[in-house]
Amino acid sequence: MPESETDVLLSRREIEEAHERIRGHAHRTPVLRSSTFDRRFGAELFFKCENFQKVGAFKFRGAFNAVSRLSPEQLERGVTTHSSGNHAQALALAAHIAGTRARIVMPKTAPAVKLAAVRGYGAEVVLCDQTLEAREATVAQVIEETGATLVHPYDHRDIIAGQATAAKELIEDVPSLDLILMPVGGGGLASGTALAAYHFSPDTRVVGVEPKEADDAFRSLETGDRQPPVTPPRTLADGLQTALSDLTFGVLKNHLHSIVTVDEESIVDAMRLIWERMKIVVEPSGAVPFAAVHAGAIDVEGLRVGIILSGGNVDLGKLPWASG
């Protein structure tokens, strides 16, 4: 825990301001419950449904907050990022709403449906080779040519402040939570959630959940040294393959209670169980926190537990279980 307010990345007021900025643009997503799950796990589970958020994931909160903070000059020149995931669509839509131009660097190998989605929100897609080096070089070139502002998916105060609003809403809607669980990828959502709890519900424990096959954040906290991402990616939770940045690692060291890990089978089981019982579509990354409950990686008995279902973007033609 931080020793003084100066150790805290974001103030209470900064998160409140982010929340005011996104109001009317981002959805205040519902909190759903399942009496079946409550009985089965002997707990009260509260699911914050960011799969119902604009673009189908919490990422829109951070992207919209970040774009809202740009100056008129920056808006004139546009924004850019490299992403083939939910942040790409989130930034594309946020830029569209703000009336600025987004240039999204995506690998040539990205599925056509993802390219189409980003273009559908009015952004320009800049294709590059698949390597991280090629992506970064292409973004650098876009910035040099256009003066666009880079909006990083998580290594960014305004992004973290935006992501924090999901937990802020959950805390407002569900008082006296004992525990909040969310997935850990690059650490933007985890940092925002931990900071929201610190300011708005300090007695709530915040625990991150990570796939065993992408456990860099778990190992970073264990060793005290930031670990590189697991390569090549081995988890089907494709939103969680990224590694922490210095910024998010610093927040998680100070504010996160712990991280637990779950195996791939547990993620698929949890995802399918959510679809079957709750009748909602979550992506593998979004099912990761519930997998920790389902697999017994964390003890929730008798507790009031908030679970952030981070997103619902999944290729329905490629489900991680046999069909047909």
Where in the sequence numbering do the catalytic residues fall? Answer: 59, 310
Examine residue 324 and tell whether it contacts its own copies (CB under 8 A).
Answer: yes
Q: Which of these, 241, 229, 249, 231, lies nearest to 284 by C-alpha position?
A: 241
* Residue type (1 letter), 185: G
The distance of closest approach from Cβ of residue 298 to its own copies in the complex, given in angstroms and rounded to an integer, is: 25
Question: Which of 135, 90, 109, 299 lies closest to 205 in space, CA to CA?
Answer: 299
Least CB distance from residue 256 to its own copies, whole Å? 27
Nearer to its own copies (CB atom), residue 278 or residue 288: 278
Rule CB under 8 A: is residue 97 a binding residue for its own copies?
no
Rounded distance between C-alpha atoms, residue 303 and residue 39, angstroms: 12
Q: Which is nearer to its own copies, 13 or 318 (CB)?
A: 318
> In whole angstroms, what is the distance from residue 207 CA to residue 232 CA?
26
Q: Is 316 in the site for its own copies (CB under 8 A)?
A: yes
Q: Is 272 in the site for its own copies (CB under 8 A)?
A: yes
Of 160 and 274, which CB lies nearer to its own copies in the complex structure?
274
Structure tokens at 181: 């669980």
**Is residue 24 part of the contact set for its own copies (CB under 8 A)?**
no
Measured from the CB of residue 56, what is the shortest distance to its own copies in angstroms? 6
C-alpha span between 45 and 33 (Å, rounded): 6
Pair of tokens at residue 44: 């009260």
Whether the CB-CB separation of 141 and 33 falls below 8 Å is answered with no
Q: Which of 10, 26, 48, 51 touches its own copies (CB under 8 A)? A: 51
Among 45-53, 150-158, 203-211, 240-248, the segment contacting its own copies (CB under 8 A): 45-53
User: Which x/- pattern over 283-312 shows residues binding its own copies (rule: CB under 8 A)?
Assistant: -----------------------------x
Q: Is 319 in the site for its own copies (CB under 8 A)?
A: yes
Question: Quick one: 14 or 283, whose CB is closer to its own copies?
Answer: 283
Type of residue at 89: Q
Cα distances from 198 to residues 71, 98, 191, 292, 300, in angstroms, run: 30, 31, 10, 22, 20
How far is residue 32's CA from residue 280's CA, in Å, rounded to a whole number?
A: 10
Binding flag, residue 13, its own copies (CB under 8 A): no
Q: Residue 277 has what DSSP assignment? A: I
Residues that bind its own copies (CB under 8 A): 30, 32, 49, 51-52, 56, 272, 275-276, 278-282, 312, 316-319, 321-324
